[in-house]
Amino acid sequence: MSKLRNRLNRAKEMLKKRGLGFLFNWIFSPLRKKMVIWLYKNNATADLANALCSVKQLQLEITSRCNFRCIMCDQAYRCIKGKDLNLSDFETILDKLPGITTLCPQGLGEPLLNPDFMAMLELAKKRAIYTYVNTNFGLFTENIAKELARLADSVTISFSAGTKETYELIHKGSSFEKTIKNIKMFMRAKKELGHKDPEVELKFVIMSKNINELGDFIKIADELGIRRVFIDDLIPLKEIKHLKVDNEESVKAIEKVKKIAEEKNVKINFDLRRQSLSVNKCTWPIDNVFIDVEGNVYPCCNIGVFFAEGDSREKFSFGNILKQDANEIWKGKQYHQLRKMMMRNKTPAVCKMANCLYVHSSEEK
């Protein structure tokens, strides 16, 4: 087993050096996932089943501070201690997870608030790690625009409205005009660089307060020169359950604006899959991890970001990567128990607590 793993790692390094690392993941990731599910279903030993799980995607909270208090976000309801991750801890975390191919530098906070943010993106770039940035675009300068356009591979801009009134109501603390000005600044910087990257997407979290503004939202994307929008489900924290719209209603609203999107050449992506999947289809415990600003490791971002109980999320963590060896956590007892339950389609209590959309669908069956 270890000989095979070494050979595979060498092949992967070779492809990585030639800029073809994606080929390896493209071929082996789906295969690996299928094998892990099969092993757990067939009572494999912890060592064998865990050996195939390795962190590929890292979601890392580089700050827990935020300039907004959006009405759908935990930031508005929990007492989170505001803190930035420093560059040296960031590097330590990357060193401890050498297999990662994708980094999403966000959690419960606004990544642009971390003064080392661009240095972190630079470090990831040097290691050929794909960076996916999710930001509110509230804080911007010409320099940030240029650096973000140069360093990020993908940028998602949170913008859950189609009018100034709703935008400022949902993204509390924001200014519609300022965000629009900042997005324009960024799109100009990207154009000046002349490359296709970063990919840019405008993101809309659908809820009762904005569902009627999808058409205007698409028009805004078009006016900004953004050709892709992402419409996401609302994670119903207990304080905002009343804002959740049901799936059918969301689908109808999207159908209604498809023509506008086609006319404007804006592609709509909508994550409907999560609502029809069951818990054993979740691949977070196989190759994804969420780490908070203190270094606490969680089996998924819903558990670390959208935790529903009290103000302390640390009690749901499986260990601390700044204090422990990564494998001690990732191949440890808690992870093994969680994987075992999930791959056998049983919902762990922690997933229920986090209001995960996989859980809702599997419980309905």
Ligand X SMILES: C[S@@+](CC[C@H](N)C(=O)[O-])C[C@H]1O[C@@H](n2cnc3c(N)ncnc32)[C@H](O)[C@@H]1O
Whether residue 198 has a cis bond before it, omega within 30° of 0: yes
Phi, psi of 225 (to 5 degrees): 80, 20
**Residue 63 per-residue DSSP state:** B
Residue 185 interacting with ligand SF4 (CB under 6 A): no
* Contact between 80 and 74 (Cβ < 8 Å): yes
Separation CA 365–CA 354 (nearest Å): 19
Which neighbouring-strand residues pair with 205?
Answer: 232
Sole window of 87-95, 107-115, 180-188, 294-302 interacting with ligand SF4 (rule: CB under 6 A):
107-115
User: Given the complex with ligand X, which of 24 and 132 has the nearer CB atom?
Assistant: 132
Residues shown for the chain: 365
Q: What sign has the CA pseudo-torsion 182, 188, 193, 198?
A: positive
Closer to ligand SF4 at the Cβ: 68 or 167?
Answer: 68
**Contacted entry of ligand SF4, ligand X, none for residue 69, CB cut-off 5 to 8 Å set by kind:** ligand SF4
Q: How far apart are CA 353 and CA 356, in angstroms?
A: 8
x/- mask, ligand SF4, residues 323-362, rule CB under 6 A, reads ----------------------------------------
**Per-position x/- string for 71-90, each x denoting binding to ligand X as judged by CB under 6 A, each - no binding:** -xx-----------------
Given ligand X, ligand SF4, none, residue 205, with its beta carbon under 5 to 8 Å by kind, binds ligand X
Residue 20, token pair as written in the block: 């073809």
List the one residue from 70, 257, 261, 329 that touches ligand SF4 (CB under 6 A).
70
Instruction: Tell me: does residue 106 bind ligand X (CB under 6 A).
Output: yes
Task: Decide: 290 and 59 in contact? Cβ < 8 Å.
Answer: yes
- Binding characters for ligand SF4, 15-54, by CB under 6 A (x = yes): ----------------------------------------
| Contact call for residue 60 and ligand X (CB under 6 A) | no
DSSP structural state of residue 192:
H
Tokens found for residue 84: 């930035």
Where in 75-94 is the site for ligand SF4 (CB under 6 A)?
A: 75
63 binds ligand SF4 (CB under 6 A): no
Rounded CA separation 187/181 (Å): 10
Contact 15, 23 (CB under 8 A): yes
Smallest gap from Cβ 19 to ligand X, in A, equals 29
Under the criterion CB under 6 A, does residue 136 sit at the interface with ligand X? Answer: yes
Query: Looking at beta carbons only, is 70 or 124 nearer to ligand SF4?
Result: 70
Q: Tokens at residue 56, please?
A: 């590929």
Buried b (16+ CB within 10 A) or exposed e, 124-149: bbeeebbbbbbbbbbebeeebbbbbb
- Give yes or no for residue 109 binding ligand SF4 (CB under 6 A): yes
Q: Is 44 in the site for ligand X (CB under 6 A)?
A: no
Per the CB < 8 A criterion, the answer to whether 129 and 85 are in contact is no
Contacts by 256-261, CB closer than 8 A, 24 or more apart:
256/214, 256/215, 257/214, 257/215, 257/218, 260/215, 260/218, 260/219, 261/218, 261/229
| Amino acid found at 300 | C
Assess contact for 210 and 162: CB atoms under 8 A.
yes
Minimum distance from residue 33 beta carbon to ligand X (Å): 24
Pick the stretch among 68-76, 84-92, 118-126, 345-353 that binds ligand X (CB under 6 A): 68-76
Distance in Å, CB of 66 to ligand SF4, minimum:
3
| Residue choice 73, 151, 185, 226 for contact with ligand SF4 (CB under 6 A) | 73
Cα 190 from chain centre: 22
Under the binding rule (CB under 6 A), the answer on residue 68 touching ligand SF4 is yes
Residue 332 CB, nearest approach to ligand SF4 (Å): 29
Q: Is 62 in the site for ligand SF4 (CB under 6 A)?
A: no
List residues near ligand X by CB under 6 A: 66, 70, 72-73, 106, 108, 110, 134-136, 158, 160, 203, 205, 232, 234-235, 237, 305-306
Judged by the rule CB under 6 A, the positions of this chain that interact with ligand SF4 are 66, 68-70, 73, 75, 108-110, 136, 158, 171
